[in-house]
Amino acid sequence: MAGMRIAVTGSTGLIGSALVDSLLTDGHQVVRLVRQRSRTGPQPDGTVGVGWNPYLMQIDAAGLEGVEAVVHLAGAGVAERRWSDAYRREIRDSRVLGTETLAAALARLAEPPRVLVSASAIGYYGQTGDRPIDEGDPAGDDFLAEVCVEWEAAARPAEQAGIRVVHPRTGLVLDAAGGAGARLLPLFRLGLGGRLGGGGQYWSLISLADEVAALRFLIDHPVSGPVNLTGPEPVTNRELTEELARQLGRPAVFAVPEWALRTALGEMAVEVVGSHRVLPRALLDAGFAFRDPDVSAIVAAALGER
């Protein structure tokens, strides 16, 4: 995968930023799809900005000519705020409309890219308790599952144009720089951490380094369809709490009851107290090797100990 021209959406988020840094370090050309007009054209970091507006379904398709691969990560943050009706629409539209816009534009190119890695999430499966889940399991029936089904289907024009399409269903990326890690880790460092809800719910974790490595693996390997991007050993919230406390040498005696989480977070609390025991079957079958395969390694990486 040397010297490729690769387009990335969502390039300023936690995962996107790390992916772009990794690609640039290895000498690839990166095209960022951006909404701000001031960030189009050549950028100081060596990337090139191409304009688009997923909500209006507008894109500068000419700027995508010559792109060999596309990694599509853009979407409104699920945990950014309470799920009002308006924000539920934003969560859905930012994913579905953006993917429809991008997939249609790629399909119309004179020379389409050979692969579209179009993000999804383990929310596809809904709440699954302690039952192990892999890519062969069906979709759930809650809000996020319905969004994921539409999100993945929106990439169909690219697939119909002969582009290899992969749907990385990402789990919980644990890292101090963003996402859940940016909220949890400061509390644990202060000795204020503890389990959330009953603590028995499964969290399917992956380190940021493995997330980026897996995305790059999917660009370069002949994999298509859904691929779970989670570590091979899901853990309960209680087990994660204990490991964080152990590695930080801090107590973790506090606990936030489920009713309080639901009061504070509303419907979004399902992402905290819900249970996803998701396994990366397709990724392992394709030969991907995890750098951080268990909770001890994932926490160490998130704390900057590796």
pLDDT tens readout for residues 246-304? 999 998 888 887 777 676 666 666 777 789 999 999 999 999 999 999 999 999 999 99
pLDDT of residue 184: 86
pLDDT of residue 69: 98
In this prediction, residues 13-29 reach a mean pLDDT of: 97
pLDDT higher than threshold 70 for residue 94: yes
pLDDT higher than threshold 50 for residue 18: yes
pLDDT higher than threshold 90 for residue 238: yes
pLDDT of residue 264: 61
pTM of this structure:
0.94
pLDDT of residue 96: 97
pLDDT of residue 268: 60
pLDDT higher than threshold 60 for residue 1: no
The whole-angstrom separation of Cα 302 and Cα 158 is 35
Question: Domains of the chain, with CATH numbers?
Answer: 5-173+207-230+278-290 (3.40.50.720)
